[in-house]
Amino acid sequence: MSDSVFAAVAQAPEDSILGVTVAYNKDQSPNKLNLGVGAYRTEEGKPLVLNVVRKAEQLLVNDTSRVKEYLPITGLADFNKLSAKLILGGTSPAIQESRVATVQCLSGTGSLRVGAEFLAQHYPVKTILIPVPTWGNHPKVFNAAGLSVQTYRYYDPSTRGLDFSGLLEDLGNAPSRAIVLFHACAHNPTGVDPTSDQWEQIRQLVRSKRLLPFFDSAYQGFASGSLDADAGSVRAFVADGGECLAAQSYAKNMGMYGERVGALSIVCRSAEIAKRVESQLKLVIRPMYSNPPIHGASIVATILKDGELYNEWTVELKAMADRIISMRQQLFDALKAKGTAGDWSHIIKQIGMFTFTGLNADQVAFMTKEYHIYMTFDGRISMAGLSSKTVPHLVEAIHAAVTTIGA
Ligand SMILES: Cc1ncc(COP(=O)(O)O)c(C=O)c1O
């Protein structure tokens, strides 16, 4: 062992989110429940492949003219056009004026990373502000790309809602032209989004300070069940004619998790600039992974370009969103019925895949040890991992944690 050239390599810690699943998999209890990872589960607790995805996949398999040649560096052209349309809207002037450079990337994470690498090389200010809290991978992605990460206030634990004045103050004090990361909708982990009036004030401030918005859109359609409504924040920023970036993921809204399908769009002031931006994105991508995989993007493009399949998708997506909303109600009702101390109304106020329960790290550890319920230590639970059958077990655990450990 000691003569290994890697003998000095230290054991790295488990990823704080994916590590929850590792611990869950080791647990032998029949009652174990994984509310850590953000992946949709059916009422039966099973992963879901959408019918429309199966159908599109079958169409592709049956088409023997299809080959497995390399895609261009920027990915599947149809997929890129349709993805830009999905996030920016069918009638977006930015698309009509060819001011959007879109590249297919490896899901949401890959899209964020390519965008960050591009900014690190071509944008004069290397500072990005991210909300507190945010998805745990954000600072890692941006640091790895060479950006310097600062934060802005977002969540107020005392109200379990948005710290809007803190947010405005911190963005107001940001270095001029700094990049600002926004969750397009269904903020992870808090489930707290600005209202459209608040978005409008944020937009005015961002534009007046000439900050550069970078939207992370990992949950379009998952928050409200409507693809258009969930893209409202991004569209408002594009409607003012200014520039921005958007990273899209099809992991959650099409259940394409492991296929790694996503897109990065950079909205520019002119078609000529967008063309140059795209040429530089190719230089970012080529040494990273050369070109993206063909299969998942072909499935997504097949669905997006066919009216019937698209409609079927929206119905299945709404059903997922509705199941999550009903889980919120069931959990809230059950905690109230049990008389568990505390105000749990945030469970039904927050939106999207997660509830930021307000449970502290000791309470989470207690629930994992005593009830085999797995979640991140910040008290975030995936509502998509819950079902009518498992709500009572979770309520027992929360009740015991709150009673035994206290706040
Ligand atoms: C806020 C946010 N951004 C991006 C992602 C990226 O996901 P993926 O790379 O699987 O598309 C996630 C996934 O959990 C997320 O929650």
- Please give the distance, rounded to the nearest whole angstrom, from the Cα atom of residue 178 to the centre of ligand 1: 23
Q: Mean pLDDT across the chain, nearest whole number? A: 95
Task: Let me know whether 223 and 297 are in one domain.
Answer: yes
Task: Let me know whether 301 and 333 are in one domain.
Answer: no
Ligand 1 neighbour 108 (Cβ under 6 A): yes
Distance CA 185, CA 197 (A): 14
Final residue belonging to a domain, choices 252, 278, 305: 305
Task: Let me know whether 145 and 281 are in one domain.
Answer: yes
- Please give the distance, rounded to the nearest whole angstrom, from the Cα atom of residue 220 to the centre of ligand 1: 11
pLDDT tens-digit readout, 326-377:
999 999 999 999 999 999 999 999 999 999 999 999 999 999 999 999 999 8
pLDDT higher than threshold 80 for residue 406: no
**What contacts 122, CB < 8 A, 6 or more positions away?**
277, 280
Instruction: Mark 196-228 as b/e (b = at least 16 C-beta within 10 Å).
Output: eeebeebbebbeebebbbbbbbbbbbbbbbebe
Taking the CB of residue 273, how many other CB atoms lie within 10 A of it? 14
Task: Let me know whether 74 and 45 are in one domain.
Answer: no
Work out the pLDDT band at 20, boundaries 50, 70, 90.
Answer: confident
**Token duo for residue 63:** 């088409």
Long-range contacts of 48-54, Cβ-Cβ distance < 8 Å, separation of 24 or more = 48/255, 48/320, 49/255, 50/254, 50/255, 50/313, 50/316, 51/312, 51/316, 52/303, 52/309, 52/312, 52/313, 52/316, 53/254, 53/255, 53/256, 53/299, 53/303
Q: Does the active-site annotation cover 27?
A: no
Final residue belonging to a domain, choices 275, 305, 335: 305
Point out the catalytic residue in the list 163, 170, 193, 216.
216
50 φ/ψ sector (left φ>0, alpha ψ -120 to 50, else beta): beta
Point out the catalytic residue in the list 55, 163, 170, 252.
252
Task: Let me know whether 127 and 93 are in one domain.
Answer: yes
Residue of 111, 137, 253, 356 to test ligand 1 pocket, by largest number of atoms within 8 Å of CB: 137
Distance CA 249, CA 247 (A): 7
Report CA-CA distances (Å) from 62 to 57, 67, 305: 9, 12, 18
Could you say which DSSP state residue 247 is in? Answer: E
Ligand 1 neighbour 135 (Cβ under 6 A): yes
Question: Considering only CA atoms, which of 87, 63, 76, 41 is closest in space to residue 297?
Answer: 76
Q: Does the active-site annotation cover 126?
A: no
- Please give the distance, rounded to the nearest whole angstrom, from the Cα atom of residue 135 to the centre of ligand 1: 8
Task: Let me know whether 109 and 244 are in one domain.
Answer: yes
Answer whether residue 235 is part of any domain. Answer: yes
Q: Does the active-site annotation cover 46?
A: no
Final residue belonging to a domain, choices 259, 282, 305: 305
Structural domain harbouring 104: 70-305
pLDDT of residue 2: 66
Task: Let me know whether 44 and 124 are in one domain.
Answer: no
Work out the pLDDT band at 17, boundaries 50, 70, 90.
Answer: confident
- Please give the distance, rounded to the nearest whole angstrom, from the Cα atom of residue 265 to the centre of ligand 1: 16
Q: Number of structural domains, the chain? A: 2
Answer whether residue 63 is part of any domain. Answer: no
Distance CA 184, CA 215 (A): 6
**Token duo for residue 18:** 């994916």
100-106 and 380-382 as β-strands: parallel, antiparallel, unpaired?
unpaired
Answer whether residue 62 is part of any domain. Answer: no
pLDDT tens-digit readout, 254-292:
999 999 999 999 999 999 999 999 999 999 999 999 999
Task: Let me know whether 105 and 142 are in one domain.
Answer: yes
pLDDT of residue 304: 98
Q: What SS3 state is found at 339?
A: coil
